[in-house]
Amino acid sequence: MTAIPKKVELLKGELVDFTANHKDVQTSSLKIAQTLEVQHSDITRVIKRLIASGAISQRSIAVSDYLNDRGKSYKYYLLKEVEALQVVMSLSGEKAEQLHKKIAHAFVRMKDENAKWREQALLATSCTKLANDNIHWLQTELAKVIPTSKRCTMLFVHVQQAITKAATGSAKIERSEMTLCQLYRVEQLEQQVRAEIERLRADGIPPEQIRDDVLAMLKATGKKEAPTSDQTERSFS
C-alpha cells in the first residue's frame, strides 16, 4: 500500500511540474491555494462547483489524498492546463489575475521542458542500445575465460550502474527520475563506452582488461563536473 504524502511534500517543486515518467505536466489545488495565500478549501470548493456545473469534467482531473500537519487525511485535485486555467479564471481579485498569467506561462514553459526531456530520453536509450552491442561482444569474450564469474555474467548491470553513477552520483536512480542534464550525460557516456570497447578491441587488448578499463574510465569520468544546464540547452538549439 502506497503511503499518503504529506502536504509539505506535495508543495515542493514548481507551480507546474512533471507527472510520473514525464508523461505530462500538471499543477494541484494545493499549489494554487498556496500561491494565492488562501485556504485550500476555498479552491476545492470552486473546483467542486465547476464539476457540478459541467464546466470541468470529473474524468479530466484526478483526486488524491494528503496528510495535513496533524496527520489528518484530506482530498486534493491534480489539474492539467485547461482545468487549471478554468479554476483560476473562476476566482476574483488581483492575485487571481496575476496567477492566471503566471500559470499560463508556467504550463507553456514546462511543456517545452518536458518535450526536451522526452527527446533526450529517447536519444539516451538509442545510445544505450548501440553500446549494448559492444558490451554483448565483450561479455561473449569474457565467457570464454571467466564464464561463471560475476565480472562476466553481471557485465551489463555493472556497466549501466557505473554510467548511472557517473551521470547522477548514484547508481540507483532510474532514468525516469533523471534531469535533462543527467540524461544528456548518460548519452555521452554510452557513446564513450562504445568507442572505448571498439578502440581496445582493435588494439588486441584482452577482454578482462577491456572490462576493467571501461569501468575505470566511467569511475574517473564520474568525478568530473557534469555539463551545465546552459551547455545542455545549447545542444538543443
Q: Please report whether residue 110 resides in a domain.
A: no
**Average per-residue pLDDT for the chain:** 92
The parent domain of residue 178 ranges over: 115-236
Are 70 and 122 in the same domain?
A: no
Please give the Cα distance from 236 to 126 (Å, whole number): 17
142 near 198, Cβ under 8 Å? Answer: no
With CA atoms as reference, report the closest residue to 15 among 70, 71, 87, 116.
Answer: 87
Are 70 and 136 in the same domain?
A: no
Q: Please report whether residue 102 resides in a domain.
A: no
185 near 167, Cβ under 8 Å? Answer: yes
Q: How confident is the model at residue 229 (pLDDT cuts 50, 70, 90)?
A: very low
Q: Please report whether residue 109 resides in a domain.
A: no
Are 74 and 166 in the same domain?
A: no
Tens digit of each residue's pLDDT (9 = 90 or more) over 92-141: 899 999 999 999 999 999 999 999 999 999 999 999 999 999 999 999 99
Tell which of 59, 76, 91 closes a domain.
91
Tens digit of each residue's pLDDT (9 = 90 or more) over 127-163: 999 999 999 999 999 999 999 999 999 999 999 999 9
Residues 167, 212, 202, CA angle at the centre, nearest 5°? Answer: 100
Are 215 and 168 in the same domain?
A: yes
Q: Please report whether residue 51 resides in a domain.
A: yes
Q: Please report whether residue 130 resides in a domain.
A: yes
Q: Please report whether residue 174 resides in a domain.
A: yes
Q: Which three cell numbers stand for residue 207?
A: 577482454
Counted domains in the chain: 2
Interacting residues of 208 by C-beta distance below 8 A, sequence separation 6+: 142, 145, 146, 151
Are 119 and 59 in the same domain?
A: no
Q: Please report whether residue 106 resides in a domain.
A: no
